[in-house]
């Protein structure tokens, strides 16, 4: 069944009405958004040579300290996949929504930076960004060109400021989410009039709490997903389909209402 056939026009209209009438909108995106650009989810990235490793070996501080070369090389491989990817029509539609409405904040669990690459300006990255580096011990952000981005396995380079090994600026298992990002995301969820939930399973916490917060404070919740999720039950409208296929249609309807 095609996406046009799967989505009822009245549901698309209700979602567009809610967005067009909102003063503040939060767009919350998960791994499904990135997957359409060819970026594997975290679990999917444990493939090929990396399939034998436990995530705890590749995405924890303990794993990095135990084998920094292995972890650095895995993230270098993932970073190359991200850099080669391009934003899809769904990313561009979110950027267009920001241009159409008074206030649209993007809150993403993804670490690929594709929302910014698509032109979105107000993006809260809950899990960090794989395109950035910071040092392990002092948290100094690295602003230079990332060295050694090829297939050669190598040790992480040292921080220019303190000599501590550089690591990806992402949230590893057991680490706290960035405080500033959390405060901004939760505050916007409490204050928004509509929340657009895209491509998330609803199983990753605390990000999965955002639509609950929004709904409990009176916001209209819209979910766009190929399949139902753990959060479908709290959505006012569920639009079944991909972000790349449905978001341009939804934004077209919003544009017709505010244009």
CATH code of the domain in which 99 resides: 3.40.50.1220
Percent of the chain having pLDDT more than 90? 78
Mean pLDDT over each residue of the chain, to the nearest integer: 91
Residues 152 and 240 in one domain: no
Residues 109 and 225 in one domain: yes
Distance between the two ends of the chain, CA-based, in angstroms?
31
* Structural domain span for residue 151: 48-84+133-170
Residues 250 and 166 in one domain: no
Q: State both tokens at 58.
A: 């590749």
pLDDT tens per residue across span 63-86: 999 999 999 998 998 898 899 999
Q: How many domains does the chain have?
A: 2
Residues 237 and 184 in one domain: yes
Mean pLDDT of 17-24: 98
Residues 197 and 254 in one domain: yes
* Residue 203 counted as domain residue: yes
| Position 15 confidence tier, pLDDT thresholds 50, 70, 90 | very high
Residues 138 and 188 in one domain: no
* Stretch among 18-22, 31-35, 119-123 having the lowest mean pLDDT: 31-35
Cα–Cα distance list, 115 to 41, 47, 100, 102, 214 (Å): 16, 25, 16, 18, 22
Residue 224 backbone phi and psi in degrees, to 5: -120, 120
Residues 52 and 149 in one domain: yes
Q: State both tokens at 22.
A: 């909102």
Q: What is the CATH number of the domain that holds 157?
A: 3.30.1600.10
Mean pLDDT of 204-233: 95
Q: State both tokens at 239.
A: 């639009």
Residues 228 and 254 in one domain: yes
Active site residues: 127
pLDDT over threshold 50, residue 1 = no
Mean pLDDT of 245-255: 98
Cα–Cα distance, 253 to 259 (Å, whole number): 10
pLDDT tens per residue across span 126-179: 999 999 999 999 999 998 888 766 667 889 999 999 999 999 999 999 999 999
């Amino acid at each position: 069944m095609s996406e046009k056939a799967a989505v009822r026009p009245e549901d698309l209209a209700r979602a567009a009405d809610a967005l067009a009438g909102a003063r503040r909108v939060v767009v919350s995106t998960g791994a499904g958004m990135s997957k359409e650009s060819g970026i594997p989810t975290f679990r999917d990235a444990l493939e090929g040579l990396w399939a034998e490793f436990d995530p705890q070996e590749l995405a924890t501080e303990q794993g990095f300290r135990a084998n920094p070369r292995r972890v650095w090389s895995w993230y270098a491989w993932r970073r190359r996949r991200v850099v080669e990817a391009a934003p899809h029509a769904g990313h561009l539609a979110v950027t267009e929504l920001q241009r159409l409405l008074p206030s649209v904040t993007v809150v993403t669990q993804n670490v690929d930076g594709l929302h910014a690459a698509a032109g979105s300006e107000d993006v809260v990255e809950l899990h960090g960004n794989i395109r950035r580096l910071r040092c392990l011990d002092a948290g100094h952000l690295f602003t230079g060109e990332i060295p050694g981005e090829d297939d050669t396995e190598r040790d992480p380079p040292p921080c220019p400021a303190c000599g501590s090994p550089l690591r990806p600026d992402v949230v590893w298992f057991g680490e706290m989410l960035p405080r500033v990002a959390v405060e901004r995301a939760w505050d916007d969820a409490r204050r928004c009039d509509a929340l657009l939930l895209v491509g998330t399973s609803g199983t990753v916490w605390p990000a999965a709490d955002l639509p609950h917060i929004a709904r409990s404070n009176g916001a209209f919740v819209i979910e766009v997903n190929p399949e139902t999720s753990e959060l479908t039950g709290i959505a006012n409208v569920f639009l079944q389909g991909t972000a790349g296929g449905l978001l341009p249609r939804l934004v077209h309807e919003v544009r017709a209402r505010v244009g």
